[in-house]
Structure 1
Amino acid sequence: MHDLTGFQRDLLYVIAGMDEPHGLAIKEELEEYYESEIHHGRLYPNLDTIVDKGLVEKGQLDQRTNFYTVTRRGRRELEARREWENQYVDFE
């Protein structure tokens, strides 16, 4: 996870928090968070990167629509990231 960009980490978090989201749903969620438009040319290459790294799997809903799910490796990476963050920021 340390070699991901902040945007790629955000993609991973969004996918983990949704049930098999498709690209447009991920895009809308991030646009709401960033309060700005996310272009397809930014979204899909970064989704492909996290798929290629084995953190996310891409499935096909139909000929035009893919969905994404976090892999076991992706979940482990998210858990490790949370543990690392909690060393520095603990709100409890």
Structure 2
Amino acid sequence: MYDLTGFQRDLLYVAAGKDEPHGLGLKDELEEYYETEVHHGRLYPNLDTLVDKGLLEKGELDSRTNYYQITQRGHREIKARREWEDQYVSPET
């Protein structure tokens, strides 16, 4: 996960929290978080990168809509990232 951009990590985290989300659903979630528009030209190439790296699987809902599902490797990468982060950031007490 070290080689992902912050946007790609956020995209992976959002996809992990959804059941087979489609691109526009992921876009909406990220726009809410970033409080700005996420353009298609940014979203879909980054989704393709996550698919190419084996972190997401891409499937077809219909002839115009794809869905994205996190892979087991994607889950492992998120878990490893969270463990790494926990070394440096402790929960507030």
TM-score, normalising length: structure 2: 0.97
Deviations 1:14-46 (A, max 9, x none): 000011100000000000000000000000000
TM-score by length of 1: 0.98
CA RMSD of aligned residues (A): 0.6
The answer for the alignment partner of 2:48 in structure 1 is: 48
- Residue in 2 aligned with 1:64? 64
Amino acid paired to 1:73: R
Amino acid at match of 2:83: E
Offset from partner CA, 1:2-23 (integer Å, 9 cap, x none) = 0000000000000000111000
List alignment gaps of at least 5 residues for structure 1: none
CA distance in 1, matches of 2:25, 2:87: 32
Poorly superposed stretches of 4+, deviation over 4 Å: none
In 1, the alpha carbon distance for the partners of 2:19 and 2:54 equals 18
CA–CA distance in 1 between the matches of 2:68 and 2:50?
Answer: 10
Overall identity of the aligned pairs, in %: 75
CA distance, structure 2, for counterparts of residue 42 and residue 31 of structure 1: 12
> How many residues in Structure 1 have an aligned counterpart in Structure 2?
92
Q: What secondary structure sits across from 2:2 in the alignment? A: coil
- The alignment status of 1:31 with 2:12, answered yes or no, reads no
What's the counterpart of residue 82 of structure 2?
Answer: 82
